[in-house]
Structure 1
Amino acid sequence: MTPERFQDLVASLTASLQGQAVDEALATRLNAEHPAGSPVYEAIFEACRQAIAAGWMCSRENDGIRWGRVIKHGPATHGFSVDVVDMDNLAGPHHVHPQGEIDLVMPIQGDGTAGGSARFDGQGAGWKVYPPGSAHRPTVSGGRALVLYLLPQGTIEFSRAAA
């Protein structure tokens, strides 16, 4: 998996998100169209595992969170940036989503296979969407998970506030 191939894979998804409201209805739609186990979900999950193994995804670490912005927002991904984090039973830094956040939750078992019981902010395998102006302290519980974040125009504001 190369960064270019990963961008192409994500772009096929973000094309369908362009111009859509970032809200609960979008989460419902994504979970219906691309649920855990679907071809799109599995392709992204496998691509993330390969990219992490290759060393170019989740290559930074801070306070036990492996992370990285793997694609900056731009025309190739229809205005979305892409970040991926690898978290194991912990909470990340509090932040605000000025234009919303679309998350793909990919639980991992101890052996690195799909299907773990980890949850991201209460969401198991699948999609979670935060509307514009929302804020949270991203938390993975029940194990380890990869979370792919799609940020409209790449906007995120970190704060020192506690959630």
Structure 2
Amino acid sequence: MSKQAFHQLVAHVATQIAGRPLDDELDRWLNTHHGAGTPSFDQLKQACINGVAEGWLCDHEGGGIRYGRVFKAEDSLGRFSVDVVDMRDIAGPHHTHPGGEIDLIMPLEGDATFDGRPAGWCVYPPGSAHHPTVAQGRALVLYLLPEGQIQFTK
């Protein structure tokens, strides 16, 4: 899996949701059309697994979390940046989402959840905040951030 092929997979979803409000309706739509068990979910999960194995995804490590920004926000990605993290039974650093955050939860080991959510998508509205937490195993989480905006709490 090349970065360009990964870009195309993410762009397929990102361009469908560009400009939509980050709310419960988008959460439901993503889980219906691209959720666990759909071809797009399976392709994105396998691409992330391959990218981690090849070393171009999650190429940084800190505090027990592997992470990395894969793409900056750009028009071909609906103005979303793309980050992927690899977490196992850990809470990450607290942060806020000025423009919201869209997460694709991909369990790898156990019955891993992200912020209590199972495999699939989770949409946080603008202004929300959290300690991103993976429990009950290991998961990869792909983050789409409008304009790449994230503010870590000091």
Instruction: Return the offset for 1:2.
Output: 1.0
CA distance in 1, matches of 2:40, 2:52: 18
1:133 corresponds to which residue? Answer: 127
Instruction: Return the offset for 1:78.
Output: 1.4
CA distance in 1, matches of 2:35, 2:74: 26
Q: What CA RMSD, in Å, does the superposition of the two structures yield over aligned residues?
A: 0.7
1:122 corresponds to which residue? Answer: 116
Q: Per residue, is there more strand in 1 or in 2?
A: 2
1:57 aligns with 2:57: yes
2:47 corresponds to which residue? Answer: 47
1:87 aligns with 2:100: no
Give the partner amino acid of 1:119: T
The answer to whether the 8 Å contact 2:104/2:120 transfers is yes
1:151 corresponds to which residue? Answer: 145
CA distance in 1, matches of 2:13, 2:35: 13
Give the partner amino acid of 2:88: D
Give the partner amino acid of 2:150: I
Instruction: Return the offset for 1:135.
Output: 0.3
TM-score computed with the length of structure 1 as normaliser: 0.93
Secondary structure of the structure 1 residue equivalent to 2:126: coil
1:112 corresponds to which residue? Answer: none
Secondary structure of the structure 2 residue equivalent to 1:26: helix
1:5 corresponds to which residue? Answer: 5
Q: Which runs of 5+ in 1 are unaligned?
A: 110-115
Q: Which runs of 4+ in 1 moved over 4 A?
A: none
Task: Give % identity.
Answer: 53
